Amino acid sequence: MTVSYTLKVANARFGGFSKLLFRWKGSIYKLLYKEFIAFAILYTIISLMYRRLLSEEQKTLFEKTAMYCNRYTDRIPLSFVLGFYVSLVVSRWWSQYTSIPLPDQLMMVVSANVHGVDDRGRILRRTLMRYANLSSVLILRSISTRVCKRFPTMEHVIEGGFMTREEQKKLEGLYSDFNKYWMPMAWFTNLASQARREGRVRDDVALRLLMDELNNYRAKCSMLFHFDWISIPLVYTQVVTVAVYSFFAVCLIGRQFLDPSKGYSGHDLDFYVPIFTLLQFFFYAGWLKVSMLAVDDMYQNLPPAEKDKYWNESSAQPPYTLATASETLKPSFMGSTYDMRMTEDSAQHYTVEPSPLTPRMQTPMLTRFLTAASPAISLKNFGRGNRGMLRLRGDSVNSNPWQAEERISEDEDEDEVDAEVEVQGKASQQSSSGSYPAKPRRLEASDQQKKREAFPQFTVTIDSPSSDSENTDA
């Protein structure tokens, strides 16, 4: 089981990584310490024998053997074989996690499409979801030791409220050589069809939506069963295991520190403790250890739909066995920031009100226009008495209306305009200070404009600059 540690390393500060590095629960130290101690003890025994018990002739033979073993340890492609194996196992582990059937989506579809405020409608909705949950319980208790301890027998499943006595008889009455986790899903489909005939499901589209979501739920249950059924090929697991253990068995001799006075190449120092060999053991053995942990008979054969055990309870709590009673003491995971303490700094609680001069929203296209605006085509020059035509550059009406060029046309016939827009603008106070001209307000489009919306050209009526605006520009 994975251990969440996100909150422990949420703040980047000096020494903060130590909270993660020295955690014991779920750590590599807890997983590997026994093998690590055994390897260190064996290495120490061989080293003491070489230094204290062997004769000079025996020492010479041992030294030649050690150099030979050290020379050929690189012939074992440990990094390649183990790296590929770990990649395969981790991807398989994550796929198993994403295949866990969660009832949320199915619950929403059932709630939205199975109607009725009376007891019958409520029974239908609760029974449909109970069948889905029963299927997940049946498949999980057959592949997970934790769930199997929680529900060791069918009596515990009944006691937990997932199944009734009548449903148990139906389940056990059907002979099958395979896991029958799919049987409650067959009940689900038949009960949904019955709800459609009763008018509780109002159309075939809603029924199809129920069936599609149930099939997604069933597919995840099936994938979990297949992951448990089809394991990583045993031959490949054996190859990786033999490669790792044989490598470190050879290292027990090949990585010994030899007498420096003999002048052997690469044996100028005697440190007694093989630091880098121990690190190799820690990494390679840790990788390996983590990786190895990692419709005819059923047609309309429905048990009677009845009120479930928790009908009158708003907060149902399934019972636990003695083997799993400790699970009730563990807090539910609420998110990595749930237990984070907030400081008393007022800056974390004060809401900033937007300034009237600050634009509340800017789009990339509008920003390009505003930063490249020229005083010659600024909105403040749209005055009274002049008429002109703005030609939009774009493939459709969704193009930016402010990337335009002005073209004056004195003899344009007023009956041929596509749309009429009145624009009023004020002069910019300080263009260098970063303030932007106000976006003109577009009036309601006429019927003619709605019919010819695909044309990117339209004519606008503008006013000549007032004297105040001219003074401002000066």
Residue range 239-281, pLDDT digits in tens: 888 888 898 999 999 989 988 888 888 787 888 888 888 888 8
CA 167 to chain CA mean position, Å: 36
**What pLDDT digit, counting tens, does each position of 178-198 carry?**
889 999 999 999 999 999 999
Residue 136 in this model has a pLDDT that exceeds 90 = yes
Query: Could you tell me if 159 and 140 are in contact, meaning their C-beta atoms sit under 8 angstroms apart?
Result: no
DSSP-H helix ranges across 75-153: 78-98, 104-113, 119-141, 145-150
- Global confidence as pTM: 0.60
> Which range scores top for mean pLDDT: 6-15, 224-233, 409-418, 448-457?
224-233
406's enclosing H/E stretch is: strand 404-407
Name the band, by pLDDT with cuts 50, 70 and 90, for residue 124: very high
Residue 22 has what pLDDT?
75
Confidence at residue 291, expressed as pLDDT on a 0 to 100 scale: 75
Q: Which helix (H) or strand (E) holds 392?
A: strand 387-392
What's the pLDDT band for 391 if we cut at 50, 70, 90? very low
pLDDT above 80 for 354: no
Nearest to 216, CA basis, from 93, 105, 94, 96:
105
Would you tell me how many other CB atoms lie within 10 Å of the CB of residue 462?
A: 24
pLDDT, position 133: 94
* pLDDT tops 70 at residue 471: no
- For the residues 12-27, what does the mean pLDDT come to? 72
Per-residue confidence (pLDDT) for residue 425, from 0 to 100: 44
Between 321 and 170, the more confident residue is 170
Question: Is the pLDDT higher at 118 or at 438?
Answer: 118
Question: Positive or negative, the Cα torsion across 244, 245, 249, 250?
Answer: negative
26 φψ region: left (φ > 0), alpha (ψ -120 to 50), beta (else)? left
Contacts of 209 (CB under 8 A, 6+ apart): 109, 113
Position 36, amino acid: F
Spatial neighbors of 57 by CB under 8 A, at least 6 apart, are none
- Average pLDDT value over all residues in the chain: 74
pLDDT value at position 320?
Answer: 79
> Max CA-CA distance within the chain?
117
- Give the position of tokens 């100028």: 268
pLDDT of 157 strictly over 90: yes
Which residue has better confidence, 347 or 285?
285
Side-chain half-sphere CA neighbours of 263 within 13 A: 0
Tokens of 275: 């630091």
Residue 128: pLDDT above 90?
yes
Q: How confident is the model at residue 380 (pLDDT cuts 50, 70, 90)?
A: very low
Place of tokens 């309601």: 444
Q: Are 366 and 436 in contact (CB under 8 A)?
A: no
Looking at residue 62, its pLDDT comes to: 92
Does pLDDT of 25 surpass 50? yes
Whole-number Cα distances in Å, 317 to 149, 161, 278, 313, 328: 17, 9, 49, 9, 10
Q: Which helix (H) or strand (E) holds 457?
A: strand 457-461
Q: Which amino acid is at 105?
A: Q
Task: Tell me which residue has tokens 């789009």.
Answer: 363
What does the DSSP 8-state code read for residue 30?
Answer: H
CA–CA separation, 193 and 223 (whole Å):
26
Give mean pLDDT, residues 292-296: 59
Band (pLDDT 50/70/90 cuts) for residue 61 is: very high
| Cβ count within 10 A of residue 294 | 14
> What was the pLDDT predicted at 155?
92
Between 116 and 408, the more confident residue is 116
Using an 8 Å Cβ cutoff, are 139 and 225 in contact?
yes
Three-state secondary structure call for residue 324: helix
Higher pLDDT, 386 or 314: 314
pLDDT, tens digit, 9 for 90 and up, residues 392-426 = 444 444 444 444 444 434 444 444 444 443 434 44
Q: Identify the pLDDT of residue 78.
A: 85
